[in-house]
Chain A
């Protein structure tokens, strides 16, 4: 059995399993998001080693979680006007705005880790260590976030695909909160400023925290080194195989370009008073509920199971959401209504 081959970024620890390290560099959104699916086909079949990939999308796009509905989540006018592609990933989680100021790390493996949510924390700790080495203290907020204090800087998700486990994540170099809010389909335009404000409160970025961006390669090298230092795996640099490239062109791209894939029907829902449920970051979210009057709405700002604030919104499209005063009976009634609904935990 041969040990890891030093490649300038991975610590040489012969006892560790050897993964491939593939740097896709700056590439199209579809390649940055979905090339891992082709890699999974070959990792799952045992034809190539487990693989660590790095990528940066060269232009913006919207990514849907595997079970999410395009019709429910995304404002179709926003993506059509901006010609923003919408890509349904095979991993879980919510709707996200992704752009060239985000750095992706992706793991594809089949025999180290059982798969499932337990793998997220295990593989995210080294990413947090890598960031610390570059001067930014991140911590893992289970199940899948990296945070600075309470503010999210990295979303992560996983899935089983073609016999392999896939974990995908990204660090926000810069956070485009405007587009993060604007891409969402909302039942009333008066909700959007609230979404922006909550994103400003709970989402941060490397530039927000440090005032600068580290070199992309420094980040990728630090993450690679951290996986080795954590005793998980060493790496050897590699290019994608011809078979992986061919599979990507022939099958992965074709699947993602099919309208039937992007526009899977929504999952059935239990009848509920919740008109829209927006997870902002981790336990922080927004619930839009029917109000007491016809076409009125109540908006609950929720931290876990606690209603931090509330708004009332009338039916007019020009209406501005009215904050519900603290200690008011209106806010108390909203909190009571939310108590019977699963919060964001």
Chain B
């Protein structure tokens, strides 16, 4: 499994956005690293709790895979594509504030292998 390694550079723009809430970056092995956008983390406020998806499990597009909580408000995140979650970020599960501090770096959420290769690019907004 190729390791995911981002430098902690919170001001670096994401490769692509999926709506206002998520960004993704394609890895050489065809998987995608998914994270929360700067805009979404600001709207959420200071995150205190995060429960991520189950590594190794296959989900359907739009299925809720993660939840987060800030200031007593719970939000949910859906998977943007049919696929298998191959890795989650243990750092954000023990310290959800990492998502606020470095949403495009160490605050990434999970890595997914889409059921159909390349499908994630369809209908997303490229910025990188």
**Contact indicator B93/A160 (Cβ below 8 Å):** no
Task: Bin chain A's interface residue count.
Answer: 20 to 34
Report whether over half of chain A's contact residues are helix, strand or loop; otherwise say mixed: loop
**Contact indicator A116/B74 (Cβ below 8 Å):** no
How many whole Å from A340's CB to the nearest CB in chain B? 14
Chain A residues with Cβ under 8 A from B73's Cβ?
91-92, 115-117, 119-120, 157-159
**Contact indicator A91/B94 (Cβ below 8 Å):** no
Which 6 A-B residue pairings sit nearest by Cβ, starting from the closest?
A159-B74, A117-B71, A143-B71, A67-B49, A92-B72, A157-B72
How many whole Å from B74's CB to the nearest CB in chain A? 4
The 12 listed contacts between A and B (C-beta, < 8 Å) are A65-B74, A67-B51, A67-B69, A92-B71, A115-B73, A116-B43, A116-B45, A117-B45, A143-B45, A144-B72, A158-B73, A267-B50
Chain B residues with Cβ under 8 A from A139's Cβ?
none
Whether A225 sits at the interface, judged by CB under 8 Å, is no
Q: Complex Cα distance A132/B93, Å?
A: 42
Chain B residues with Cβ under 8 A from A270's Cβ?
94-95
Whether B76 sits at the interface, judged by CB under 8 Å, is yes
Pick the residue among B43, B67, B71 that contacts A67 (CB under 8 A).
B67
Contact string, A121-151, partner B, CB cutoff 8 A, digits 1/0? 0000000000000000000001110000000
How many whole Å from A268's CB to the nearest CB in chain B? 5
Interface hub of A90, A92, A115, A161 (most chain B Cβ within 10 A): A92
Q: Given the known A-B contacts A66-B67, A67-B69, A117-B70, are A160 and B45 also in contact in the complex, defined by CB atoms under 8 Å?
A: no
Whether B44 sits at the interface, judged by CB under 8 Å, is yes
**Contact indicator B94/A268 (Cβ below 8 Å):** yes
**Contact indicator B94/A93 (Cβ below 8 Å):** no
Pick the residue among A119, A143, A158 that contacts B74 (CB under 8 A).
A158
Interface residues of B in 54-73 (CB under 8 A from A): 67, 69-73
Q: Given the known A-B contacts A66-B67, A267-B49, are A115 and B75 also in contact in the complex, defined by CB atoms under 8 Å?
A: yes
Q: Complex Cα distance A160/B45, Å?
A: 14
Which residue on B lies nearest to A121, using beta carbons?
B71
Whether B90 sits at the interface, judged by CB under 8 Å, is yes
**Contact indicator A269/B94 (Cβ below 8 Å):** yes
Chain B residues with Cβ under 8 A from A116's Cβ?
43-45, 70, 73, 75
Q: Complex Cα distance A119/B43, Å?
A: 11
Which residue on B lies nearest to A155, using beta carbons?
B72
How many whole Å from B6's CB to the nearest CB in chain A? 20
Whether A114 sits at the interface, judged by CB under 8 Å, is yes
Whether A156 sits at the interface, judged by CB under 8 Å, is yes
How many whole Å from B5's CB to the nearest CB in chain A? 21
Chain B residues with Cβ under 8 A from A67's Cβ?
49, 51, 67, 69, 74
Which residue on A lies nearest to B40, using beta carbons?
A116
How many whole Å from A201's CB to the nearest CB in chain B? 21
Q: Complex Cα distance A159/B70, Å?
A: 10
How many whole Å from A11's CB to the nearest CB in chain B? 28
Q: Complex Cα distance A118/B72, Å?
A: 11
Chain B residues with Cβ under 8 A from A114's Cβ?
43
Which residue on B lies nearest to A157, using beta carbons?
B72
Q: Given the known A-B contacts A66-B69, A114-B43, A267-B93, are A92 and B74 also in contact in the complex, defined by CB atoms under 8 Å?
A: yes
**Contact indicator B51/A267 (Cβ below 8 Å):** yes
Chain B residues with Cβ under 8 A from A117's Cβ?
44-45, 70-73
Chain B residues with Cβ under 8 A from A66's Cβ?
67, 69, 74
Q: Complex Cα distance A157/B72, Å?
A: 5
